[in-house]
Structure formats: C-alpha cells, structure tokens
Chains A and B, each alone.
Chain A
C-alpha cells in the first residue's frame, strides 16, 4: 500500500457520488480516495456500474449528487475549459481501444500531442515511436486500426493514453475477452508503464489474476458503493462471503444482484443507456 501523499490531497477523491439512470440507481453515495502513485483495482459483477464509476472520474458523466475532485479541484465546479485542462492529467484506455478509425495508428497516438502541445513534427513522431515501443508494438505507425487484433488495438489505446505523460491512468477492462497469453502481455505492459511513469491508476476488471498482478489495493463495487477495500493478499484470503464468492466464482456464496430491468413491474425501456 502507498502511504498518503505528504500534502494530504489524494489524486482522486469522490465524495457522495450518486448517479441514477431512470429508476436504476447505479452509484449510491459512493466515496473513494486514491493516493498519488497508488494502483487501485476495482472488481465487481458485470453491469454493476464499474464503467459508470470510471466515467465519473474523468468527467464523461456528471454525478446527480456529490463531487469528483482531481488533486483537490472539483471537476464540476470549474468551467468547461478548466475541466479540459484537468483532463490532460488523465490517460484513459477504453474497453475495445476506441481508436479513431479514420486515422492511422500513428495519427491516433499523435492526436493529443498535436492538439495540446506545440511540439514539432519530429518531436511528435519520436514520442509516438517511444509510446509504441513501451506497449511493445514498435513500427506500426502506418497501420489502420481495422488491421489490428483486439489485443493490439488495446495496446495502441494505451499508447495514445500515455502520449501526454499523464499522472493518472484509467483502464476500463483492459483484458476482457482476450486469451491468457495476450492478457499476460497486457499485464506486463501495464506493469512496465507503472514502473516508468509511476502514475496513479484505477483499473476495472473482473479478472482476478490481472487484479492481483497490478493492484496496491483492491476494491469491490456492489450496491452502488465500494463495499470492500483491502490489500490484494488480504482480499485473496478474505472469509467475507461477498469476497469469497468473487474469488471462488461461486454464486451460491453471495447471490448475484438482480438487475432492476428484470424486476417485475419495471418496463424494459427503463434500462439505462449503455
């Protein structure tokens, strides 16, 4: 575990964050603090709101109530301009990479550099090459995103996320749907990125192997809150039925939460937009 930063201001702090889509309350007075340089992994069942939580951290969604603070600055108390300045501290990696398919791989990674820096073409090309090397895909600048496999696309997504050398990295299910070997490559790449840049990181996943490999702290999201937070070792050994159910993959130990759209009386149209 990482000790709280000397200034006492966590890199990311969520206070009482509440978000509902129609009748479904996804986040319910959620509190969370992540210290500078710490790697937090959030576990939770599918559809429980892990992605929603991550989208609140980077300001893609606005909480119905509560606040999101980045280095002590409230994301929604500042102007949209200042919010964009705060967002430059972030690098976010999306589930399927979310690469701009109208651009080459190189242009994707160069995008934030062209947009937010005054670097020369040469400097940008060098930085793009450097980022691709870090994700172990050197020399693929001229390929189109459609030519890449799922694992490669995600790694290019990582490369784009780190181009501006952000202090905070967010990973949205970096390994979901990949084979074990590709998963291992991604875990190694994430570890390498952490070692070189020492960023604050939040990763959401339901792959325990990934979680234990990269986490300083593991949190379990359930009922709209971070119900459990502990070190990976403790988590693995915990006797708490909610944790044990997750670690062992046994639904008998802790019944799965019923998704509201399946509850009688609520029309299916009330389901939240994905």
Chain B
C-alpha cells in the first residue's frame, strides 16, 4: 500500500516542484525585463535564431497541413454536396487552431530544444557559475533575450503559417480537386472575421512564452554531465509540447 502511494506521490511532487520552479524563474525573468541593462543585440540574435531560422520548417508544415486539410474536407463534404465550403474550413482551422498549435510544436522542437541544450551545457561546464561570479544575473542574461524573442516571433511565424496553409489548401483544391479559383478564394474569406486572426495570434504569443521558458528552465536546471544535457533537451520538447497542447485547450475556452 505504501509503495503504491509513493509511486503516485513522487511524480505528483515532482510535477508540483517543476511548476513552482517555473513560476519562480518566470518572476525573475519578468524582473529582468524591466531592469537595465537592456540586451537589445542579444534579443535580436535570438529573433534570428528562433524566428528566421524556423521559417523553412514552418512553411513546409503549414503548406502540407493546409493541403491535407483540403483533401480530407473534400472527402467528407462531398458526401453531402458541400464542396463549396472547403475554403472556409481550411481558413478557419488554420487561423484558429492549426496555425498556432503546429507552429508552436515545430518551434518547440527546433528552438526550445536548442535553448535547453545550450543552457544545459553552459551549466555543466560552469559557465553559468562564471556568469554569477562576474556579477551578472544569469536568468536576466540568458532567459530574457530568449523569452522576449520567442514572444515576438511566434505570432509572426503564425501569420506565415496561416497564409501558407491557406495557400496549400488553395493549391490542392484548385489544381487537384478542380475547384473554381475565384469561388474558392471568396469562400475562404467569406466566414472569417478579425477575432479568428487575433485569437490565433494571442495563442501564439502564449506558446512562445511557454516553449522558451520551459526550454530555458530545463537547460538551466540541468544536473550531471553530458547525459544530463540529453535529458534536459528531451524534457524541453516533451514538456514544452504538452504545455502548448494543454494551454491551447484552456485558451480556446477563454477566447471561445
């Protein structure tokens, strides 16, 4: 009986510890935002790393997602002769849901894991201790540029994903399923309103915050040598992706 309770209790405790640590480091990061020195050059460097370097991956993901969405919707809608609405379905799904979530997941895999690996190896080679000994707050120095850059670029990447996804759907519908281009484009924008766009962008900013904080946190708290860095990198992707999916549900509820 005791063993069972322990088996339940241990992961729960570890989870709560991790969540507590998240908010502790988040508080320190927020303090780092407002205090000088402001690290504009470092943030710009991270914008390039997280944002610009993610463009190809986000582009391809969204293009094929939009395409497959059009294909699948066609299969279903054909059964009750509603093929005309494929454009609306693709656009709504991309803007409200798939654009932000898929971008979040892809960038977590690319940039969140890289943050964990970089900070993790800095931890195990005492570079983070060296920062402290040089009178530099490591959370401010390392977290702030990464988190700030991620919050800025995630919505931009989502705009790219939205446009590319709609393009992917259009290409499949017009080139392959034989839809009329003008009718399809009309349909795409007919049922869209501004809220669909903004809700996706708000989600993206939150996802950017989540994957960068989690990537930095797992790297920063790395224990042990090379193996520890590996574990941290895996955790950054797993926890980052889970956090995005869970946050997505609640954000959708709040943003209707």
Chain A interface (Cβ < 8 Å from any Cβ of B): 55, 58-60, 80, 84-85, 87-88, 90-92, 94-96, 98-101, 111-112, 115-116, 160-161, 170, 273-274
Supposing A115-B37, A273-B223 touch, asked if A95 and B126 sit within 8 A by C-beta, the answer is yes
What chain A residues lie within 8 Å of B134 (beta carbons)?
A: 87, 111-112, 115, 160
Contact check, B132 vs A98: say whether CB atoms are below 8 A apart.
Answer: no
- Which residue on chain B has the smallest CB distance to residue A91? B133
Contact check, A96 vs B135: say whether CB atoms are below 8 A apart.
Answer: no
Is B180 among interface residues, defined by CB-CB distance under 8 A?
no
CA–CA, A63 to B130, complex, Å? 19
Supposing A115-B37, A273-B223 touch, asked if A98 and B129 sit within 8 A by C-beta, the answer is yes
Could you list 11 further interchain pairs (A-B, Cβ under 8 angstroms) beyond the known A84-B136, A84-B137, A87-B132? A60-B132, A84-B135, A88-B135, A90-B133, A94-B133, A96-B126, A98-B126, A99-B130, A100-B122, A100-B127, A116-B135
CA–CA, A92 to B135, complex, Å? 11
Is B125 among interface residues, defined by CB-CB distance under 8 A?
yes
What chain A residues lie within 8 Å of B132 (beta carbons)?
A: 58-60, 87
What chain A residues lie within 8 Å of B136 (beta carbons)?
A: 84, 111, 115
Chain B interface (Cβ < 8 Å from any Cβ of A): 37, 122, 125-127, 129-130, 132-137, 223-224
A-B pairs, top 6 by smallest CB distance, nearest first, are A92-B133, A98-B126, A98-B130, A87-B135, A84-B135, A94-B126
What chain A residues lie within 8 Å of B130 (beta carbons)?
A: 92, 94, 98-100, 160
B246 CB to nearest chain A CB (Å): 29
CA–CA, A170 to B135, complex, Å? 14
CA–CA, A90 to B129, complex, Å? 13
Contact check, B127 vs A101: say whether CB atoms are below 8 A apart.
Answer: yes
A143 CB to nearest chain B CB (Å): 17
What chain B residues lie within 8 Å of A273 (beta carbons)?
A: 223-224
- Which residue on chain B has the smallest CB distance to residue A157? B130
A4 CB to nearest chain B CB (Å): 26
Contact check, A60 vs B133: say whether CB atoms are below 8 A apart.
Answer: yes
- Which residue on chain A has the smallest CB distance to residue B118? A102
Contact of B135 among A98, A101, A112 (CB under 8 A): A112
What chain B residues lie within 8 Å of A160 (beta carbons)?
A: 130, 134
- Which residue on chain A has the smallest CB distance to residue B141? A115
What chain B residues lie within 8 Å of A84 (beta carbons)?
A: 135-137
- Which residue on chain A has the smallest CB distance to residue B37? A115
- Which residue on chain B has the smallest CB distance to residue A95? B126
- Tell me which of B125, B134, B137 has the highest count of chain A C-beta atoms within 10 A of its own C-beta: B134
CA–CA, A132 to B129, complex, Å? 22
What chain B residues lie within 8 Å of A116 (beta carbons)?
A: 135
CA–CA, A269 to B37, complex, Å? 40
What chain A residues lie within 8 Å of B224 (beta carbons)?
A: 273-274
Contact check, A58 vs B127: say whether CB atoms are below 8 A apart.
Answer: no
CA–CA, A169 to B94, complex, Å? 58
Q: List 12 A-B contacts (CB under 8 A).
A: A59-B132, A80-B137, A84-B136, A87-B133, A98-B129, A99-B130, A100-B130, A111-B136, A112-B135, A116-B135, A161-B133, A170-B133
What chain B residues lie within 8 Å of A111 (beta carbons)?
A: 134, 136
CA–CA, A98 to B129, complex, Å? 8
B25 CB to nearest chain A CB (Å): 14
What chain A residues lie within 8 Å of B122 (beta carbons)?
A: 100
What chain B residues lie within 8 Å of A55 (beta carbons)?
A: 129
A51 CB to nearest chain B CB (Å): 10
CA–CA, A112 to B130, complex, Å? 11
CA–CA, A59 to B136, complex, Å? 12
CA–CA, A91 to B37, complex, Å? 21
What chain A residues lie within 8 Å of B135 (beta carbons)?
A: 84-85, 87-88, 112, 115-116
What chain A residues lie within 8 Å of B126 (beta carbons)?
A: 94-96, 98
Supposing A111-B134, A112-B135 touch, asked if A60 and B223 sit within 8 A by C-beta, the answer is no
- Which residue on chain A has the smallest CB distance to residue B128? A98
B161 CB to nearest chain A CB (Å): 30
CA–CA, A5 to B122, complex, Å? 38
CA–CA, A159 to B35, complex, Å? 28
CA–CA, A80 to B139, complex, Å? 13
